[in-house]
Structure formats: C-alpha cells, structure tokens
Amino acid sequence: MTPTTSTPTTASVTATSPARRGLRDFYEDPSVPVASGTPRSLRQARLLAAALGPATAGARTVLDIGCGDGTAAATAAPLLAGHRLVGVDWSQDALRRAHARLPYAIRGELTDGGLPFADAAADAVLFSEVIEHLVDPDGALDEIRRVLRPGGHLMLSTPNLAAWYNRALLLAGVQPVFSEVSLRAIHGRPGREVVGHLRLYTARALREFVTAAGFEVVRLSGAPFHGVPRPLRPLDRLACAAPAFSSILLLHARRT
C-alpha cells in the first residue's frame, strides 16, 4: 500500500457551488447517521473474507471507502484478521469517530485522483452504503478502479429502490423508502431520518452501472434493512433470497 503525495480534499464537491457547499455541510453535521445495520456489514464481510482467503496466504490491503464512524469496518475486522484494513472518509467528524475503532483512518475523496493511494495499491474495496450519497458516482467508480489491482475485489452495498415494500408503496402513490426529496425533512414517505440519498439503484441498474465502469460482477445478493418494523422483519429476511426484491443490494465485482 503506497500513499501518493497528493493531499486529499473534502468530498466530490466544488468550492464555488452553493448547493454543493450545502451537501458538504450536511455530511459534516454530527447528527447525520454515518453507520448502517450490522446484518449487512456481516454478510458483506463474509463475502469478502471468502474472496480474499486467509491472511496466511499473504496479507491483503482492504480499503473501506466511506468508512463513516468505522462501525462497518470494525464489524468486518474479525473476519479479515491478518489483512490490512484502512478506513477512508472525507468527513472530519466521521474520521474522528472512526479512529476509535480502526488503526488507520485517512481522509480522501472519490474524484480526480483524490484517494491518497497509488494505482493498483489495494486488493479490495469495501464501498458500503456510499454510492447513493454521491453527486458523481461515475467518477467514484473510476477512482476505485484506479486504486484496485487488476482482479481486485469491489464489495458494494446500497439500498434497493425496488425493495419489496417500495413496490407496494409506489402502487399506492407513496414515495419509496430510501428516497428523499429534501435535505431538511422527510416528505411523502414513511420514516423520519434524513440521510442524504441522491441516487438509488435497482438490481438491474446496479449490475449494468458497475459493468460499464470496468468491473465484472461476480455475485449479487441481498441483505435485510435494520429500519424495517419488527413484525415485518421475517418477511424482509425472506426477501433476501431474491436480491431484486431485497432491502439492500450486496454486489461483489472484480476489476477487469
């Protein structure tokens, strides 16, 4: 793992756009959630551990890009014992919290060579519930592809626009869960928590998008959503068997 000499800056935003300054301020707000549910983190970590194999065959470098407060990486760490796990985020507040859980937490951004690593420096990237927050997801995958070695693993997770309950909500004329029309409040859908989702994917759209960015999709699976009401959680777990209907999409791809 060889850092570049470039100095990472904040976010994939520009200093000249008031709207984008608003996004930066939103994500630097300590009250904005920066962690997601443990079931998704564990499923993703098991997939990555199986792909990398034990560290006895050689320690691998894993970047958790958009690590937030480090919860997901800390959950994955026992399954990735012996491998090098590095958290990367551009939010200074999130990084302060991540330092309490991770040995390495580094500031970086996802556009224009903003990740402070050399080309092909990483063996795997965890990209957990980040892509739905990005203004420029194309640039983000380009940058991830740059730092991954050929054949390196991308473990991406994101909410599913076509989750089983969202299909029913749309039929009823209700805004789907995970989608947001404002950074100030929730309008037209269940829930109270604003988390800044800008883009949402179906299983088909995610496959096509990642493939077009220069990756080969190895597997697409599903995970439950911790925010589903308790009486509906058995149904949510059952939906994971059909990723197109699951709450969360887990995608394993390899850099071509």
Rounded CA-CA distance 25/90 in Å is: 12
Sequence letter at residue 185: A
What tokens were used for 53? 């194999």
Rounded CA-CA distance 164/228 in Å is: 11
Rounded CA-CA distance 93/193 in Å is: 19
pLDDT value of position 30 = 60
What is this structure's pTM? 0.86
Cβ-based neighbour number of residue 47 at 10 Å: 20
Among 70, 210, 79, which Cα is nearest to 140's? Answer: 210
Segment-wise mean pLDDT, segments of 10 residues, the chain, 256 residues: 35 37 64 67 93 92 95 92 95 91 93 91 96 95 97 97 98 97 94 92 98 98 94 97 97 98
pLDDT value of position 230 = 95
